[in-house]
Amino acid sequence: MAQNKKRSSLICGFHVATYMIPFILCGFAWWQLALIYAQHFLQDRTGFIVWFMNHTGKKDFATPPMAPWSIFVVDNTFHLAWILLVVWPYN
């Protein structure tokens, strides 16, 4: 399912909704959940990570043989950094 998240907002929304289950169970505030959901949806639905890599001098890192794993690493680093910014100062 996650492989079609760039093509369909519905699929991306379902992917992010299932991703949110652990965060809901952690008891975060509604606004923290909303920010995590929104960032994850926007990042996964768009080509932001590849754009970022191409525009920050990491174009070679975003192409084979490093890709697709390099893109996965940068993508997940962005997700984790955002979660840290949203959750850590308030808990």
pLDDT score recorded for residue 10: 94
Q: Which of 9, 15, 16, 23 is nearest to 37 (CA)?
A: 16
**pLDDT of 1 higher than 70:** no
pLDDT score recorded for residue 40: 97
**Does the predicted model carry a pTM greater than 0.85?**
yes
Non-local (6+) Cβ contacts of 8 within 8 A are none
pLDDT score recorded for residue 69: 96
**pLDDT of 84 higher than 90:** yes
Q: At 77, is the pLDDT very low, low, confident or very high (cuts 50, 70, 90)?
A: very high
Amino acid letter, 27? G
Residue 24 has which token pair? 């809901």
| Residue range 13-61, pLDDT digits in tens | 999 999 999 999 999 999 999 999 999 999 999 999 999 999 999 999 9
